[in-house]
Structure 1
Amino acid sequence: MRPPRSVATTMRLIAVAAFLLSAVWGAPGPAAAAAARHALVIANAAYPDSDAVLPTPLASARTLGEALKSKGFAVEAAENLGKEAMQAAVDRFVAKVEPGSIALVFFSGYGIQVARKNYLVPVDARIWSEADVTRDGISVEGIMSGLEKRGASARALVLDASRRNPFERRFRSFSMGLAAPGAAPGSISLYAAAVGGVINEPAGATQSPFVTELVKQIGQSELNAEQVFTATRDALTRDSRNLQNPAFASGLEDPFFFDPTRVKPVAKAEPKPLPSPQPAPEKKPAVEKPPEPVVAAKEPDAPAKAEEAAARAFDRADAIGSKASYEEFLRSHPAGPLAERARAEIRRLDAALPKPEPVPAAVAPPAGKSYSTAELSRKTALDDRIARNALDEAAFYERGQFHAQRDEYTQAIADFDESIRLNPINPEAYNNRCWMRAMLNETERAMADCNEALRLRPNFLDALDSRGLVHLKTGAHRAALADYDAALKVDPNHPSALYGRGVARLRLGQTKQADRDFAGALALNPTIDKDFAQYGLR
């Protein structure tokens, strides 16, 4: 007869059994408790480069912040941050996030996409080119990557930043709206407008309709995060009659609830059977390849090829017709009859130029135009930089953009001339000068500039779009169609290329296709038809 167990022994056996059952079946423990919730809410409204303070970001951010607090989020809120303060706020927030927690980031203000990546713009950003965006902007990808590294189980991103900002209007350097939101595992994103689209907030609005709807849906306790975001998207699309279509993406496997009382228990894990052993793959004997036959290479006619290359390079320089283009040719071809011709053209151009006069601290605008306080300040700063250093290529380029934004074509071309003279391999300067020359109907020189921009940067989106416009102005509609098709392969949501292709198709008699292009372009930018009317194209 087996002796009876002691009480202590029995209790130990029960504890062991309970432990084994919890290991196999996933009994609720600390993981089933509500995860910590963190939110970073930033609103930037007072941009010096903007004509006026943005009316909706501050009130929108405050309303959303209160809604998140009521749902158990620890909210860190900030307003009108410069680059240094904004980066510090992001760094503090990321450092607070614990493994397994929920992290939400909201930003309202201006956003810009460069190379299909999105950047949030601080109020003190000085943006004139793509490089400035990556220098002064806050990378969305960087924020989300930081939260992932901290181990946040759910990372939510809400951007009310799809606005046509003053940096985009400055001059053709950026794509409209924001790039597509990511759907990495564990992330969920909602943007106020469609990819590449911009919002048009109602006149007199003090709070974003996007945030108003989002807060309303967050209050629905039965909805999880994916349902809240999709309901917001659907309601705004419906209420705006398809004029505002928020972009949504999710990589959440198990969406969280905004209502902290609705927490899902940890799912029971089924025990996994051990894999059956597999036989090792049979090794095949290596087969030795026969040696490749040696073919004697033909010796090229080196002198003839060099002359042909020099002739092509000179033709490019001559088509552009600037001192910088001839100087660039001479750097590669310093000797020979074409080099002498290039030097002769440089002497001719130098003789035709008047002697430069000192640039005053501030230059009056052309007759009939006036500068706002912000414009005068920006213009004065650029004039001062050039007066202090006549070799400041970036200052000439930025002042060219300044004039281009104001449709001061002759002044813009003069500044781009200097920018190119100082830096003859800048494709953006050639593209900008191409556009200015097209506005003055100097189509041959405009075409040469666009071609040079595309030689320096093949498949350069803006240069393809610019050259398409030049082709439209010269009646080369099939060539325009080809350029716009190439541009739209790079960015299918480029409103200017889409509308330009519509014009080309209309003039080629492709009416149905043209109407589709016009409708798509106007959905992305409701004023694009007025822009083309200013270009002389309807």
Structure 2
Amino acid sequence: MKRFKTRSLWRAGCVALALILAPVQVLANKVALIIGNSAYEHTSPLKNPRNDAEAMASKFRTLGFETIEGYDLTATEMAQMTREFARSVSGTEISVVFYAGHAIQVDGENYLIPIDARMDDELSIDFEAFPISMITRQLSRTDGANLLILDACRDNPFEQLTLGSSRSIGGGGLGKMDVRDNGTGTGIVFATAPGTVALDGEGDHSPFTEALLKHIGTPNTPITTVISNVTGEVYNATGEKQRPWFNQSYTAPVELYKTAALPAPNVSAGATAPATAPADGAAALEEEKYMFELARGSGYIEDYQAYLDFYPNGRYARFARIAIERLKTEAAEEESVKVAVALPETTKDVESRSVALPAYDPTTPLILSVTQQMLLAPANQTTEQALNMDRSTRRALQARLNATGNNVGRPDGSFGPKTRAGIAAWQASVGLPQTQFLNSMQFDLLVSQTEATYASFLNVPAASSGSGSKRKTSSGSNNIGNNIVKGISEGFGRAFGDKVFGN
């Protein structure tokens, strides 16, 4: 449960205005294409690529990138996403592509594998696989800096594929790629050296992505240094079995995340501070203050931690650490109360207690209510994208709307006009502005209203289809609109507060 401190209307209004303006400030011509394919239909599925891609998308949003994201994509959907990306890279300062999933090399050319690829015969390579050269050609359209990251060097998943005598399929990872472009240049990062195999990982992420998430957001650091640090960490973490490989043609240092440097303190005896700080120093102090105020305004532990990640010895570091400890204590106390209240009164455990606990009753007053801060907080497309909802969370949200009596139809994870109308109707019913989009506070309010009832609305029998067959996908949809999500950063660490909602 999130907690928000009581503030004056003026301060709440300033925080709301900052959240509205933040995306405008951070869209500094930086675009990232993120693809994660895990749910393969005709070969071995992979555990981590989708997790890796979703985490990397969130990370890039915190670095000020506009992200074009797709998960478990077919060949057609990958082509459409690449076209959308190509239209976005013209004139960009930095363009990034991250792919996680199966990939193969044939005759020295590398191919990404969509989830619907069958790869039954030689023709499959030309018509079902997706050539990486298609992406590199789009990167060459810009004069800015480009970065292609491929966590896709797993074993060949199509060992049954036999080719003619004129073609050969590589079974040991991807092949080396040349860098040819104009402008600042391009860097290509493989999760492991060409011709070798990378690990998918036993945890939530592959060893390569785990290290990349840790280092890629290092402020004011050239990407060449970042990848060197990633390489060393992966090499050690895998027992020297996996060594990432980096090829680049940069004509100048490329930094994915730039921040103004803090001015050095004047420690000379009797020194008097200048009446006016240098312009860069003033900007740095304002940036640090802005980031701390965002954390204070949201009340998220993650936002305070984001501030400390960037400013471990900052002006407000001590207060941030105190706030984190307080919020952790409050969350633990609140959780213990919720568990106690939820215990059924009729069990023998309760009968044996010295203090009787009330029975759980879904009709009891709501835990959350509409506050002044909730009324002032913006609720728009940007704030809803910051929730980082996956398909199952979207389905649960639709079921929750149905549970409130605002019928949006069968929960399918696709937010169309009916869902938007349902959100607006629910907002009107609780006295909120009818924006048709949610923010984190409104999401929590809806969850608190429906936690006891929404599950019965979740698995409504699907309407009969007019066609005789339907392609199976892990996401439950073959509509490109449901697989592609555009996320926009909410500024200077806001997305560090991304939380997992739903069941």
One fold, TM greater than 0.5? no
User: Normalising by structure 2, what TM-score?
Assistant: 0.43
Flag the structure with higher helix content: 1
User: Normalising by structure 1, what TM-score?
Assistant: 0.40
Specify the structure having the higher radius of gyration (Cα): 1
Higher RCO (CA 8 Å, separation ≥ 6 residues) = 2
